[in-house]
Amino acid sequence: MDFIMMLTRNDRTVEDADEVVESVIDWGVAHIGFKDIGVPAATMRSVVNKIRAVGATSYLEVVSTTPDAVVTSLKAGRDLGVDRILGGTNTGVAKEILNGLGGYFPFPGLPIGHPTKLGGKPELIAEHCRAARAAGCGGVDLLAYRATDADPLDLVRAARGALNGGRLIIAGSVKSTEQIHALADAGADAFTIGSAAFDGSFSPSKGALRSQIRDILAACETAPRMAFAG
For 22, 173, 207, 215, the CA distances from 84, given in Å and listed in that order, are 20, 20, 31, 25
pLDDT 10s digits, 143-158: 999 999 999 999 999 9
Does 11 score more than 90 pLDDT?
A: no
Residue 142 CA to residue 154 CA, distance in Å, equals 12
The CATH code for residues 2-221 is 3.20.20.70
Percent of the chain past pLDDT 90, that is, above it, reads 88
Q: Which of 18-27, 35-44, 52-61, 64-73 has the lowest mean pLDDT?
A: 64-73
Q: Does the pLDDT value for residue 228 go beyond 50?
A: no
pLDDT at residue 227 in the model: 46
Give pLDDT tens digits for 117-153. Answer: 999 999 999 999 999 999 999 999 999 999 999 999 9
Structural domain spans, the chain: 2-221
Residues ≥6 apart with Cβ < 8 Å to 229: 165
Q: What is the mean pLDDT of the chain?
A: 94
pLDDT tens for 153-193 read 999 999 999 999 999 999 989 999 999 999 999 999 999 99
Could you list the beta-strand ranges (E) of the chain.
2-6, 8-9, 12-13, 31-35, 57-61, 84-86, 104-105, 110-112, 117-119, 139-142, 167-170, 190-193
- Residue 223, pLDDT > 60, answer yes
The residue-averaged pLDDT of 11-31 equals 96
pTM for this prediction: 0.95
Q: What's the confidence (pLDDT) of residue 43?
A: 97
